[in-house]
Structure 1
Amino acid sequence: METALTKLVGVRHPVVQTGMGWVAGPRLVSATANAGALGILASATMTLDHLRDAVREVRSRTDQPFGVNLRADAADAGDRVRIIVDEGVRVASFALAPSRELIAELKEAGVVVVPSVGARRHAEKVADWGADAVIVQGGEGGGHTGEVATSVLLPQVVDAVDIPVVAAGGFHDGRGLVAALAYGAAGIAMGTRFLLTSDSTVPDAVKARYLAATVRDVTVTTAVDGMPHRMLRTDLVDALERAGRTRTLARAVRRAAGFRRLSGLTWSRMIRDGLAMKHGRDLTWSQVLLAANTPMLLRSSMVDGRTDLGVMASGQVAGVIDDLPSCEELIARVMRESRETLDRLAGPGVSIPH
């Protein structure tokens, strides 16, 4: 299926695997790429050396295009951009809108720039700055999320910009792909659906919790880092919501120290990142400190398998997913379902070319 997205990034299928921290590592990204979709490596939780090694590992596993996701507000964003350029990565995606200068540097090096946004005005801004495409996540998506549903946000953005738009938030099958195309999108991006594959390195016990969840078990809370965050409801989430501010902040400081040791960041670098985050999102210092919780809480579940100590970011689609296919099986299924859906929409006796 050829769309503006497949032509832009050179993949066979208009499907993107999102850059989920602690989840989207070399194995998942390369499996996605080999299946013909666009895999995105999550770099925010990696040191610079780890990022370079991860990019090279993906390259050793596949000769297909893939991307790297960056934190635009990170103090070392420029260093990470240089690694992407040096290593010949095809796509750079961003969780927050990158600066005009970063976009220009990447484009000059031939890297396709695809920021993720959650509002029409943000899509318009990055399009004006030269972004090649944009991923638009509606409120159904996992992790940090907004209030506007994909079915409302997506057509707004499609009508507002002249670059390819990739739809995210609530997608898990071929019917969703066809729906996104009908709205004018050039493809779909999925996170939770790729997390729940056999190629994902997330521990089995954590995957089991996702598979057991219903749509009512996926909630939005501000208790983790002060910002709306969609995740599975667990005893830990309930405890965080009940905890007082002093206890919560003390816990956040300890986890921030743990992330500093793990990531290799200095306190001064973390403070600069916090300042950038505070300015970019208009947060209080308490919220910035709470945000330091997130990497370690996610690592506890996604790496260590501690469902009792970690949070499990999740899209609402977790409530309708009940299997763990390989990435190859998943992409083949999505594309088969999309063709079947298009044929069904055409009606008896009418064939739609694919």
Structure 2
Amino acid sequence: MTAGALSTPLTELVGVRHPIVQTGMGWVAGPRLVSATANAGALGILASATMTVPQLRDAVREVKGRTEAPFGVNLRADAGDAAERVRIIIEEGVRVASFALAPSQELIARLKDAGVVVIPSIGARRHAEKVAAWGADAVVVQGGEGGGHTGEVATTVLLPQVVDAVDIPVIAAGGFHDGRGLVAALAYGAAGVAMGTRFLLTSDSTVPDAVKAKYLAATVKDVTVTTAVDGLPHRMLRTEMVAALENAGRVRALTQAVRRAAGFRRLSGLSWPAMIREGLAMRHGKSLTWSQVLLAANTPMLLKSAMVDGRTDLGVLASGQVAGLIEDLPSCRQLIDRIMTEAQQVLTGLTALPAEAPSPATP
């Protein structure tokens, strides 16, 4: 059974059936997950930051070979080859470009001139106002409940701030996993929801089963925010590695960072100076120790260790707080149909609530 469609400014903007977005998670949001999401009527976003430029083109073509539905590609706006990646998006006819950081006004204009929908992710009202003024078509607003690098303001506080501040569709992220959450986001004025952890925990996700089992076993209290990995607030599952990093002194932390960075350098082919430049670029104005600079540079490989290699003892398990509420591994189609069916049931229940009759006037 396929759930009925729900039209919002998001579905109209990108041409999907349901107001649900699968976020561009590094090492997770590959062609299989993206195409499964798209075929189920939602917007799948391909993660490109962990791909080379040729790999990105191949991945885009693989998604196109699996689905005729719209999908998007997530980019790092600060990447040195961002312009080349944008060229691939335009040449391959990708419908949506999403960004983890605010793209430049020039980059937005180039994409929009080619008919690509531009949707940056933001974590503060002022950032939403800036990209809206630059011509962004919509924004994803991630509250502090969201996985990966995150802020301190809860979605329920941040979302209405942004909805009131901009005139473009706002997509809510951070803490969503079911139809009730979708209806709540719509009530706040959002045009849809974006979910990462919930899509990671599907049967269409390529994340190893042992890693998924770690997520499914987690409680809400097992999801923590730490700066020990790369100096920035990073929401993830608490593991022995996270605890070790948090308890390590500066010398030990630097030793561990150098060892992991050496492994990343061999895999990536980057020189030590290039790795340090990469780490410095990723600190976003923060004051980091040298160990944190090195960890920032090879954070993608810490994620790969878990999400691709299944090494939960060595890798980082980025996670939204909502992991503590998830108990199963449906397919993307089953998940999306379930969310939409529940949302429609909630909406029906709300419209059936009796209105309180006015009190009779006192003579």
Q: Secondary structure at the match of 2:111?
A: helix
Select 2:297's aligned residue among 292, 306, 317.
Answer: 292
Q: CA 1:263/1:85 → structure 2, altered by over 3 Å: closer, same or farther?
A: farther
Partner of 1:304: 309
Instruction: Note if 1:208 corresponds to 2:216.
Output: no
Structure 1 unpaired stretches of 5+: none
Instruction: Decide which moves more: 240-249 or 158-167.
Output: 240-249
Partners of 2:276 and 2:294 within 8 A in 1: no
Q: Which whole-Å CA distance do the structure 1 matches of 2:197 and 2:72 have between them?
A: 18
- Kindly state the Cα deviation for residue 348 of structure 1 after the two structures are TM-superposed: 5.7
Instruction: Note if 1:77 corresponds to 2:82.
Output: yes
Q: CA 1:54/1:335 → structure 2, altered by over 3 Å: closer, same or farther?
A: same
- Kindly state the Cα deviation for residue 276 of structure 1 after the two structures are TM-superposed: 3.5
Select 1:241's aligned residue among 227, 232, 246.
Answer: 246
Percent of paired sites with the same residue: 80
Q: Secondary structure at the match of 1:313?
A: coil
Structure 2 unpaired stretches of 5+: 1-5, 356-363
Partners of 1:15 and 1:189 within 8 A in 2: yes
- How many residue pairs align between the two structures? 349
Q: Which whole-Å CA distance do the structure 2 matches of 1:348 and 1:76 have between them?
A: 54
Q: CA RMSD in A?
A: 1.6
Partners of 1:139 and 1:147 within 8 A in 2: yes
Q: Deviations over 1:190-238 (max 9, x none)?
A: 0000000000000000000100011011111111111111011111111
Partner of 1:95: 100
Q: Deviations over 1:93-128 (max 9, x none)?
A: 011111111111111111111000111111111111
Select 2:321's aligned residue among 316, 319, 337.
Answer: 316
Q: Deviations over 1:168-197 (max 9, x none)?
A: 000000000000000000000000000000
Partner of 2:237: 232
- Kindly state the Cα deviation for residue 260 of structure 1 after the two structures are TM-superposed: 4.0
Rg comparison, structure with higher value? 2
Q: Deviations over 1:10-33 (max 9, x none)?
A: 100000000000000000000000
Partner of 2:32: 27
Partner of 1:50: 55
Tell me which amino acid in the other structure corresponds to 1:315: G
Partners of 2:228 and 2:242 within 8 A in 1: yes
Q: Which whole-Å CA distance do the structure 2 matches of 1:35 and 1:299 have between them?
A: 27
Q: Secondary structure at the match of 1:49?
A: helix
Partners of 1:69 and 1:92 within 8 A in 2: yes
Select 1:117's aligned residue among 122, 135, 145.
Answer: 122
Instruction: Decide which moves more: 284-293 or 41-50.
Output: 284-293
Q: Secondary structure at the match of 1:177?
A: helix
Q: Which whole-Å CA distance do the structure 1 matches of 2:125 and 2:311 have between them?
A: 37
Q: CA 1:328/1:264 → structure 2, altered by over 3 Å: closer, same or farther?
A: farther
Q: Secondary structure at the match of 2:293?
A: helix
Q: CA 1:347/1:75 → structure 2, altered by over 3 Å: closer, same or farther?
A: same
Tell me which amino acid in the other structure corresponds to 1:7: E
Partner of 1:9: 14
Partners of 1:193 and 1:318 within 8 A in 2: yes
Q: Secondary structure at the match of 2:282?
A: helix
Q: Secondary structure at the match of 1:92?
A: strand
TM-score by length of structure 1 reads 0.95
Instruction: Note if 1:68 corresponds to 2:73.
Output: yes
Tell me which amino acid in the other structure corresponds to 1:17: Q
TM-score by length of structure 2 reads 0.92
